[in-house]
Structure 1
């Protein structure tokens, strides 16, 4: 249930960042295509590139800020690759509707852009969360190792060789736990 709530929150935040990108995308497309008279596919590419840049900032510094950022070069490269595929999906739908189906009015172009953007958004969500903004590995809880004095005080009093043998076993068990905890910490640091 906690995982469902977590992904639902992630989807909402992804939607907010994505919505801001959609606004940027459509505004730039409208200005380029209608205002400046640039061809619709070129306008779409320009609009998508600008939206990709604004979305990256939102994803990296708000939505996925707690994700692994150690390899930023890898992250940006993958982000651009998957964003590029999303742009191809979006531009492909627009081109198909305009050049194959003959839907060339401003309203029809915007409709095709909405359909292409919806398909590309699903693709981007899955690829970004799976490959680009990787989750940090789960941390194993460090065992709570009581001190030898506390462990010894909690047990009934022993005498002679039995007490020494029990203390030796306890000490060995605690040392093994501490060693295991240190190995976990060193493994995470690498």
Structure 2
């Protein structure tokens, strides 16, 4: 019996775990995307909030839902480092991507002078896409780190 399992037998479970993680991240992201878009649209077109304020509120609500989904599903197999550590880091990562989203929406709204809800929604969608990539990489690296192998 070999001392180490064949390389192929180690790669398959790693790929499966990555696919599970990406799939769950995608589902949580899709649900939070709908929350973000729907709430942004409602706040901007019906509640009378400005575009940037609507973006701020919609992102904060979807961020809280995302933390719960990612902690208890997407990254449930990773190390548990405690809510006191995870949530503030999660908030910082989301704060950075929120700032990016606000900057994109504000740029389209003010310097470009766009007021139409569909144009602002397109800017919102672009900001969410860019933010999603940044968030996934940051969550894996800092918020929900891999379990350290035992020696």
**TM-score, normalised relative to structure 2:** 0.87
Count of aligned residue pairs for this structure pair: 140
Range moving further from structure 2, 61-70 or 24-33: 61-70
Paired with 1:11 and 1:97, the residues of 2 have a C-alpha distance of 31
* Structure 1 residue ranges, 4+ long, deviating more than 2 angstroms after superposition: 1-9
CA RMSD of aligned residues (A): 1.3
In the other structure, the counterpart of 1:167 is none
Query: Which residues in structure 2 correspond to 1:3-82 (within 5 Å)?
Result: 3-82=14-93
Q: CA deviation at 1:68?
A: 1.6
Note if contact 2:101-2:128 (Cα within 8 Å) is conserved in structure 1. yes
2:116 corresponds to 1:123: no
Q: Which runs of 5+ in 1 are unaligned?
A: 141-190
Which of the pair has more CA radius of gyration?
1
Q: Which runs of 5+ in 2 are unaligned?
A: 1-10
> Greater shift after overlay, 48-57 or 5-14?
5-14
Distance in 2 of aligned mates of 1:113 and 1:91:
8
Q: Which whole-Å CA distance do the structure 1 matches of 2:107 and 2:39 have between them? A: 21
Which of 93, 96, 99 is 2:107 aligned to? 96
TM-score of the pair, normalised by structure 1: 0.70
Q: How does 1:148-167 map to 2 (within 5 A)?
A: none
Secondary structure at the aligned position of 1:123 is classed as helix
Greater RCO, 1 or 2 (C-alpha within 8 Å, sep 6+):
2
